[in-house]
Structure 1
Amino acid sequence: MTGPPPRPHRIALADDQAIVRAGLRALLERQGIDVVFEADDGRELVERLAAAPVDVVLSDIRMPVMDGIAAVRALRERGDATPVLLLTTFDDSELPLQAAEAGAQGFLLKDATPPDLYDAIVRVAAGETLLQPVSTLPVRTRYQYHDDNPPSERFSQREIAILRLIAGGYSNREIARAMFLAEGTVKNYVSSILDKLDTRDRTRAVLKAITLRVI
């Protein structure tokens, strides 16, 4: 006789960019993780955690009002030991040290693969610490454009519009309906967008597009 299925991990998600939150929420929910609430800065995160406890906090480091590291410090000062996994796109060797000193349990680049992100959440929820220094040189190399054209000039206005809908969690069929296009046409646009961003994953494409200021 088998017991009840394990309860999904419950997380709080903090990032000042709504598009990033939408992409991460869609990714995490597809992996069976329950996003209890979202916050757009560290202060809101700290305030809402008092009334809505979670298993893990997934937070950007760079946010207005109160950044991710300051939010971790505020949580620890009030005795809240909720594990915190900090996300960043920045190449800064001091960040892991600052995160550890503040009391964070994890540090991960936003370019991490979906399985790596899921694994990090599970491990941090289980009490592990993931604060090893991370080299972002391969990421920066992949993101670099080797000509004088701004990244946005590589994308048509229609591609940018489709990228924004992808960021909102729209499927190809929903994008087709919203833009009055055939679904096959949308698939072709999405393939072109993924090729230009050098990725086969829609969520990572959105995060990369934001990093490159395409959207």
Structure 2
Amino acid sequence: MKLSAELKEFETRIGHVFANPALLTRAVTHASMSSPTREDNQRLEFLGDRVLGLVMAEALFAGDASATEGQMAPRFNALVRKEACADVARDIGLGEVLRLGRSEMVSGGRRKNALLGDAVEAVIAAVYLDAGFAAARDMILRLWGARIGQVEEDARDAKTALQEWAQARKMAPPRYVETQRSGPDHAPVFTIAARLDTGAQALATAGSKRQAEQAAAKALLADLENSK
């Protein structure tokens, strides 16, 4: 099968020309567009997630011979989580070539972290199946680029880090309260407050509750650190 002009351009952006173009077509087809004659990318997501994990584990292991398991684990999590994958998807314009059903398009699917992250994993699997592990590894390292070397040693999930901070001081877990919601239904914007029993709190706004909670937790941790 032949690829559309936009998918040919996408091949250029990821640096891989498919011997089997059907794999790329499948990788960019969301479940909302699946049919008995059209496969979606869900199975590819599963495989791509594992390939990505191995590549990142290998890169972190080789990149810092002195790092302990306790140091590598949070770095790994920061590099493979959905937000990181979605950032890469935006860098390569993956949202622009996704094949989505009407419901997903109307609800802003091309901008959703979960959908973009899953699609990146599907593309990774497609390259792996098309040309093998070395080709997939090379593409991943190229697309993640400086993110790998710059990942913070303490790049833990901010909500987890805040909870650990509270537990270490025998405090109740932090609470996350939605204080405001704005924007249209297909592209809502949430404002979340991260609060501790001491009364300390921080606000953050984002396009998903999860992002807003993470940002609020990060902001509160920074405030607590600065108040020492």
Same fold by TM (over 0.5)? no
More helix by share: 2
**TM-score where L is the length of structure 2:** 0.27
Structure exhibiting the larger radius of gyration computed from Cα positions: 2
**TM-score where L is the length of structure 1:** 0.28
